[in-house]
Chains A and B, each alone.
Chain A
Amino acid sequence: MANERNGFLPIKTNTFDRIFISVVLFIAISLFWMRFVEAYAPLWVAVLLSAVLGQWIIRKG
């Protein structure tokens, strides 16, 4: 496929793939946070974490 590249992810990805992976991880992290971590740290920490992770995946993934 056009614009595919090799990053640190184990598959070749284009921009859409990396955005998709970031969104999937954002939802997974948020749900995990609400279930296990929210009693100790608020949800916005998870959102921040996901945003940083998403940025990293989109740029270097």
Chain B
Amino acid sequence: MRNSTTGWLLIAPTLFILFITGFVPFIYVLVVSFFDWNTFAQNPEPTFTGADNFRELVFDKAFLKSIWLTLKFTAFVLISQLVIGLFLARMLLRNVPLKGLFRTIHTLPLMIAPIAVGATWRLLTVPGLGPIPHYLKSWFGIDYILSRFPDQAFATVVIMDIWHWTPLVTLTLMAGLSNLPEEPLEQARIDGASEWRIFWDITLAFLKPVLLTTIFIRLMDALRTVDEVWMLTGGGPGAETRFIGLHIWRVVFPKTDYGYGSAMSLITLYLTIVMCWLLYVAMTGMKENKA
């Protein structure tokens, strides 16, 4: 068992760092979530309250609304990014003119920090200054004011996220598509299968691991979106784009309600893990498929 011992010794530093940076903070947040701890309160010391934070959470309309908005946002961006990303990945693997240039330009948003993306889109959408409200008004007669219309604010946040993160999906799916085995595709073509049938039954089936990884990464990212939205809308108008990350930030930092914020973080983590697990189970197969 010498190999095994050597292996464990080699990964021990990484495990130690992961333990310190991942597991210890998780346990800390878990413990804090059972305390009433607000440094601005009359009693700023942590007081054990059992499950009271969670009890309050399940009736907290603002929290439940932010969860619902986050899930809606995640569904919109995830589906859009997968569809657009897959289409672009297939297109970029073909011999289309200027594909190198397009690929470079398409990948540029990935290199921009989220806070800068939010700032850029804010400049694009500020009424009286940004080109988007100006042209929407002059060409289509649409009043585009993010701080007044919740639907416009939500749609803009979704479009911004799609613009920012679709290149990542395109690149990962391109890597997956370029590694597909040629033989099954050729056999299907010789057998007279239609392109749609080949795509649905062979390409997607072989692409499943890459798709799953991409969905996981984007799902987790979308659920914790904060900085872009904070910069663009500040969570407004009202609380119409206040996703769960922003909501937790408002409770933990300006209000310094650490116990309640920890409980909210844990519920968000729980939702993320459950959704990823359900997706994994749905995509890797039920019992009949595995047997």
Contact = CB atoms under 8 A, between A and B. Distances in A.
A10 B38 CA distance: 45
Contacts of B51: 30, 34, 43
A6 B274 contact: no
Interface string A1-34: 0000010001110000000100010011011001
Nearest to A27: B270
A20 B278 CA distance: 12
A30 B263 CA distance: 14
Contact of A34 (B54, B286, B290, B291): B54
B287 A11 contact: yes
Given A11-B285, A24-B274, A34-B51, 14 more contacts: A10-B287, A11-B281, A11-B286, A11-B290, A12-B287, A12-B291, A24-B273, A28-B274, A30-B54, A31-B267, A34-B55, A34-B58, A35-B58, A43-B51
Interface in A21-58: 24, 27-28, 30-31, 34-35, 38, 43
A14 B175 CA distance: 32
Interface of A: 6, 10-12, 20, 24, 27-28, 30-31, 34-35, 38, 43
Contacts of B48: none
In the complex, which range does the number of interface residues on chain B fall in?
10 to 19
Nearest to B288: A10
Contacts of A34: 51, 54-55, 58
Nearest to B50: A43
* Chain B contact surface mostly: helix
Contacts of B55: 34, 38
Nearest to B56: A34
A11 B277 CA distance: 12
A30 B273 CA distance: 17
A27 B271 CA distance: 11
Contacts of B285: 11
Nearest to A20: B277
11 contacts: A10-B287, A11-B281, A11-B285, A11-B286, A11-B290, A12-B287, A24-B277, A31-B54, A34-B51, A34-B58, A35-B59
